[in-house]
Amino acid sequence: MNEKKLAFGYTVSKDRQIDFDEASLELYNKVCAAEPSIRLCISCGTCAATCSAAKFSDFSLRKLILQVRRGITKGLQAEVSKCMLCGKCQLACPRGVSTRALIMQINMNLQKTGK
């Protein structure tokens, strides 16, 4: 019997789990030491909602901070370079995270390590 598979338009998603035992939190620790306000971030998305760079690109500060926290450095330099350092996110942040200093610390540490 010849069975035809029906295509419903769904696919199996790529595994996105993070092995925190294998992830390197070196960048996060360096950024925390220089700018401890990163610990105050609750990933509420207020920064992303006010972001000027997000209007012109797919930049998301919320996503960037989550990547740093999770030890994901792949593609991080390209993301950081999208930020225009306008400071709107810093004004909107309900937790008082120094987002501009955070971006600059992430960028500086990425350039030092060459990632």
Over residues 29-53, the pLDDT tens digits come to 999 999 999 999 999 999 999 999 9
Q: What is the pTM of this model?
A: 0.79
Mean pLDDT of all residues in 63-75: 91
Alpha-carbon gap, residue 39 to 79, rounded angstroms? 20
pLDDT of residue 80: 94
User: Residue ranges per domain, the chain?
Assistant: 26-113
pLDDT of residue 5: 67
Helical spans, DSSP H, in the chain: 26-34, 46-50, 52-56, 61-70, 76-80, 88-92, 99-113
pLDDT of residue 105: 96
pLDDT of residue 20: 76
Q: At what angle do helices 99-113 and 26-34 cross, to 10 degrees?
A: 130
Alpha-carbon gap, residue 91 to 48, rounded angstroms? 12
